[in-house]
Chains A and B, each alone.
Chain A
Amino acid sequence: MAAEIYFNVAVSGLLTGLVYGLMAVGLSVIFGVVRVVNFAHGEMMTIAMYLAIVLFSSLGLDPLVMVVPLAGVLFALGYAMQAGIINPFITRPEHSQFILLVAVAIIIANVLLIVFGPDARNVQTSYAFDSFLVGPLIIDATKVYAGAATVVITAALVGFFRLAPLGKAIRACADNYTGALVVGLDVKRLYALTFGLGAACVGAAGAMLVLLVDVTPALGPALTLLAFIIVITGGLGSMPGALLGGVLIGLTEAMAGLFFTPSAKSMFSFGLLVLVLLFRPQGILGKRLS
């Protein structure tokens, strides 16, 4: 009996971690190419989550169906942000970019607060309590759907960056900014596309996360931090790394919640982050930093 609890918690943590991993993939794509740390990442995630809630409560649209449309909406938002305000900042020092994105984060969080109020919200679907029985394991159906969708989306993104000409162009910008300019790439537009793609991951992840956790307007910073931890643990610039990092953090937090106390679980994530930064700063799947 006891062993089964551990396995159940581990699988649940792993699947939740995949969804967080998708959010982190977004951060990784943005930082890997644009070299801007998106301090408004968690706040963008809360936008997607509130949109999913509004669509569900007013039109009855299932958040899992809305994964792709919300990714589209957030893509547009991300594109507009990069093209509108972040592009002039790409050559400025980090602290300047930091203030810019913190300002954006403050605005998003408080507009959400004005519109939706401070209460926690969630979505109750008809399949919220469904589960799969795999041998002795009881696996939450929602988490299985979300985990599967995450893997598909990440695979599509990896394929895009490896195979599509546009994806290759974006990678060229990431590898050599000046070189990309020299061969005539429209770097600013590609940066906007990249930020849009990163935001699209956030949109998809937000639509799914709303099924797993409650959202409040103040949730943003915690999500941003979580995305940082995952990305650095997995390896900055590596999309499979971000998913792996998500799974690791999900597992760690689930186990810490089981063995110690749930309120202390993030401490273990931060502990893991510190260890990774010190002993493998490029992350588990990351390439050696030059």
Chain B
Amino acid sequence: MIVRLFEGVPRRGVALLAALLVVLLAAPWMANDYLLTVLIIILYSAYTGQAWNVMMGFAGQLSLGHAIYVGLGGYAAAALYVHFGVGPWLGLAAAITVAVACSAVIGFLAFRFGVGGVYFAILTIAFAEFARIGFDHFGWVGGSSGFFLPVANYARNDLWNLRGNPTMFYYVMLALTFAAFVLCHVLLKSRVGYYWQAIREDEIAARSLGINTFRYKMYAVIISAGMTAVAGVFFAFYYNNLFPEQVFHISRSIELILGPIIGGIGTLFGPLIGAFLLTGLSETMQEILTALGLDAPGAKQVFYGLCLLVVVLALPDGVWPWLAGKLGVAGRRA
């Protein structure tokens, strides 16, 4: 089983991955609180990017409203915890169920009625916006004034209730990211993965070969939504607050997908590289601008936008395919 995981992966790639994992596992001993927080953000966006990549990168279905699954997952688990005292691990099941149900409705409506391409993307935005405004008026979870979890006592780590210090959250997020990476690797090499790639490349050809495109597109949407909902639960318990204007906002959906696109869409390392690059870029820029005395509100985002522009102009396929070539770990293009 374990051996099969590494089939077809260049040896240097495995070594690289192992080295990265060791560094990440050791990070809390070396990093200060600030760096640890940044690393949590990086892993969080790597994880959500990986989840989104299943839908877009593997199966070619562009979702621009993934914030809806983060939000639904976060709200489901937080509401159970606050109102009924149900712990986050049980809440996780509820969160995944809610997000999967919602994604199944969106996917069913879109694919049955033949809504594809740009129209599908805009449909996903519409649902996310619908949820944002809906939750603004949903009094049971605080409406627009936000929903708060009781702030934890950081004296000891309580993994069962997901209450504790940043190091615990870091390891939880690292485990999630690693699990998502392995899951995506397995999916990509499975029959479903090959069906997805066939659909991504040419849906009509895939259907004419006898692939039930409706079913496999639904699988992609559902798996992606379920994975994203897990990130939502983490978000809720890590930040202890949820505001509809924040979690469901279109800019969250956009941030979520920038990483995998910049990193390299449809690749396993893309979301990881993209998360490191973009979060790293954003934080370094802040430091540099502050040092130069240029920290006007908005200045950082202007440079961020310019960097995005440069990357997308220079490396249309993303950073990873180019970097993989340089490092000599480029396998067969997945």
Contact = CB atoms under 8 A, between A and B. Distances in A.
Interface in B92-149: 109-110, 113-115, 117-119, 121-123, 125-127, 129-130, 133-134, 136-137, 144
Contact of A221 (B62, B113, B251, B297): B251
Given A94-B121, A95-B261, A106 B308 contact: yes
Contacts, number: 123
A273 to B, nearest CB: 5
A271 interface: yes
Contacts of B46: none
Contacts of B304: 106
A228 B125 contact: yes
B246 to A, nearest CB: 13
Given A37-B118, A110-B299, A110-B301, A277 B126 contact: yes
Given A228-B122, A228-B125, A99 B302 contact: no
Contacts of A103: 305-306, 308-309, 312
Contacts of B121: 94
B118 A225 contact: no
A266 interface: yes
B291 interface: no
B262 interface: yes
B158 to A, nearest CB: 38
Q: Which of A31, A100, A106, A274 has the most CB of B within 10 A?
A: A106
B223 interface: no
B114 A281 contact: yes
B183 to A, nearest CB: 22
Contact of B312 (A37, A96, A273): A96
Nearest to A99: B312
Interface string B145-165: 000000000000000000000
B254 interface: yes
Given A94-B121, A281-B114, A264 B297 contact: no
Nearest to B296: A114
Given A113-B297, A261-B137, A95 B265 contact: yes
Interface in A219-269: 221, 225, 228-229, 232, 261, 263-264, 266-267
A267 B309 contact: no
Given A96-B312, A96-B316, A113-B298, A281 B119 contact: yes
Contacts of A99: 258, 261-262, 308, 312
Contact of A225 (B117, B129, B261): B129
B199 interface: no
A264 B305 CA distance: 31
Contacts of A106: 301-302, 304-305, 308
A107 B309 CA distance: 10
A136 interface: no
Nearest to B130: A270
A266 B296 contact: no
19 contacts: A92-B316, A94-B62, A96-B312, A99-B262, A100-B309, A106-B305, A111-B302, A113-B298, A114-B296, A228-B125, A263-B136, A263-B137, A264-B136, A266-B133, A267-B133, A273-B123, A277-B113, A277-B122, A277-B126
Give 4 nearest A-B pairs by CB, closest first: A113-B298, A106-B305, A110-B298, A107-B305
Interface of A: 31, 37, 85, 88, 92, 94-96, 98-100, 102-107, 109-114, 118, 217, 221, 225, 228-229, 232, 261, 263-264, 266-267, 270-271, 273-274, 277-279, 281
Given A31-B118, A110-B301, A281-B115, 10 more contacts: A88-B313, A100-B313, A102-B258, A103-B306, A113-B301, A114-B298, A228-B125, A267-B134, A271-B130, A273-B123
